[in-house]
Amino acid sequence: MATSLVWFRDDLRIRDNPALLAATADSAAAALYTLDEESEGIRPLGAAARWWLHHALEDLRSELDRLGIPLLLRRGPAAEVLTEVAAELGVAAVYWNRRYGGAERQVDAEMKQRAAEAGIHAESFQASLLHEPWRISTGQGTPYKVFTPFRKALSELGLRPPLGAPEPGQRFGGPLPHSDELDSWQLVPQRPDWAGGLRDAWTPGEAAGHELLEDFVDGALADYEQGRDRPAVQGTSRLSPYLRWGHVSPFQVRAAVLAREAERGSSAVRAYLGELGWREFCWHQLYHHPLLAKQNLRPEFDAFPWQRPGSGGGDGNDGGASPSVRLLAWQRGRTGVPLVDAGQRELWATGWMHNRVRMVSASFLVKNLGIDWRLGEHWFWDTLVDADPATNPASWQWVAGSGADAAPFFRIFNPLSQQAKFDPEGRYVARWVPEYGQPDYPGPIVDVKESRQAALEAYQALRGDL
């Protein structure tokens, strides 16, 4: 009997998974997940993402078990590993859902080539984005740089409804090739075990993602336009890691939200779908600029005097602490600026930070502390459970002013007035910085006003050079 192989990547779910549906349509199937830290250009996962992946794979394995589909785990360059496993199983076809990063697309193209050489049918599907990044371009045929026309163009395209789960069909019966033990990948921290806060905050997996989605459409969605800016309350969906790992698909989220439009109000629904649109916009940027995490989208920023530890800058540009001291204080949540410290501590403890606070904290690092946005992006990459190769760098470039449709550099968030406006009762700050207001809370590492002025002067000098 013919068998198929389904290759799981950022789509760790059973429902609305076109590759899985194709693999099980008329044959028994086996599944494979490859931990690829070797293919050229693939960015190794950050520590919080590795923790999530461990639990996500446990969840996927038990979901697949119920369908009679074994999950094999292998480590190594993905195209090579997949070719080996396909040969060991003697499959007639391999299926996967597409990814959109430059290095990932390279791996997938190599795999298509290898499959063709081996006489295996290989087919890929759209699953993690509502619209694939190449489907739209501006009137001039170039990628979009501005969000509003991008979103308008998207809204004119048709969308498929979410798909169901495969029916339990033919169970995989043959002998199974070697599979790594999940524990041997050492994705979960042991000594020290710093993941307690992550365990308290999250249950990785498909069922937990759908529960959260249901809770959100039943509750916070109605007040999303106001609630989304209040870090002290759960005013957003917290679905970002579930979307990142593909436990829920954007098709499912969109359908669930739209189904409640009449009760919850169309402006709340529109605002929420706008955020899913920003997600698509980030992937559009990565598709067209594979070096998004490394290069300024606006090259004029290449001349900006960002500070980096060890770059010889010595003291900060306003005579304060050195770049390495500043960066460490920011990472640890010890800048003496309460909203920034609260956000950084939330991130460290839970692997997630509220969007409003992400914007304020990133702006503070880049503009008040003068540190290169790439260092902040790198820290988020390591500590966020939702870190993805498109949204993280695109958002950092947006904050830094170097990105697409970016906040103009001269619009610098004031972390103190942001705190007054969005955490007026101080509940969020009190939760994460209990010593705020006590003698042992440090004074600000830089003067907020003076450092803002220094940033504006550096920007003016840069503009003068253009």
Task: Please report, as residue ranges, which positions from 349 to 368 form the binding site for ligand FAD (by CB under 6 A).
Answer: 355, 358-359, 362
> Which residue number, 123 or 382, has a Cβ lying nearer to ligand FAD?
382
Stretch of 174-182, 189-197, 235-243, 421-429 lying at the interface with ligand FAD (CB under 6 A) = 235-243
Contacts of 247 (CB under 8 A, 6+ apart): 12, 13, 56, 59, 204, 205, 206, 208, 209
Residue 340 touches ligand FAD, criterion: CB under 6 A: no
Between strands 28-35 and 121-125, the pairing is unpaired
Q: Is 352 tagged catalytic?
A: no
Q: Is 173 exposed, middle or buried (0-12, 13-18, 19+ CB in 10 A)?
A: exposed
Nearer to ligand FAD, 7 or 352 (CB): 352
**Residue span binding ligand FAD (CB under 6 A) among the ranges 70-78, 148-156, 336-344, 393-401:** 393-401
450 belongs to the catalytic site? no
User: Is 306 known to be catalytic?
Assistant: yes
Q: Which of 3, 97, 240, 317 binds ligand FAD (CB under 6 A)?
A: 240
Residue 278 falls in the annotated catalytic set: yes
Rule CB under 6 A: choose which of 16, 108, 318, 388 binds ligand FAD: 388
Nearer to ligand FAD, 356 or 452 (CB): 356
Q: Minimum CB separation from ligand FAD for residue 102, in Å?
A: 17
d(CA 80, CA 93): 16
Chain centre distance of CA 15: 21
* Alpha-carbon distance values, 85 to 4, 30, 95 (Å): 11, 10, 13
Give the DSSP per-residue string, 265-289.
-HHHHHHHHHHHHHHHHHHHHHHH-
Which range touches ligand FAD (CB under 6 A), out of 29-37, 192-200, 340-348, 391-399?
Answer: 391-399
Query: What contacts 24+ positions apart, CB below 8 Å, involve 310-319?
Result: 316/369, 316/370, 316/446, 316/451, 317/370, 317/454, 317/458, 318/370, 318/446, 318/447, 318/450, 318/451, 318/454
**Helix %, strand %, coil % for the chain, to 5?**
50, 5, 45
> In angstroms, what is the minimal distance from the CB of 271 to ligand FAD?
9
Piece of the chain touching ligand FAD by CB under 6 A; list 109-117, 147-155, 156-164, 272-280: 272-280
Contact in structure between 99 and 71 (CB atoms under 8 Å): no
> Sign of the CA dihedral 275, 277, 278, 283?
positive
83 touching ligand FAD, by CB under 6 A: no
Among the listed residues 392, 397, 418, 419, the single contact to ligand FAD using CB under 6 A = 392
Bind-site residues for FAD: 224, 236-240, 272, 386-388
Q: How far apart are CA 328 and CA 10, in angstroms?
A: 31
Q: How far is the CB of 377 from ligand FAD (least distance, A)?
A: 7
Residue type, 132: E
317 is catalytic: no
Detail the residues annotated as belonging to a binding site: 224, 236-240, 272, 386-388
Q: Cα(101)–Cα(337) distance, rounded to whole angstroms?
A: 36
Residues 397-416 within binding reach of ligand FAD (CB under 6 A):
399
Question: Which tokens in the block code for residue 203?
Answer: 């249950």
Interface with ligand FAD (CB under 6 A), residue from 278, 422, 436, 441: 278
> Which one from 373, 379, 381, 432 is the annotated catalytic residue?
373
Binding site for ligand FAD (CB under 6 A): 228, 236-240, 243-244, 275-276, 278-279, 282, 355, 358-359, 362, 380, 384, 386-388, 391-392, 395-396, 399
Active-site amino acid positions? 275, 278, 306, 355, 373, 396
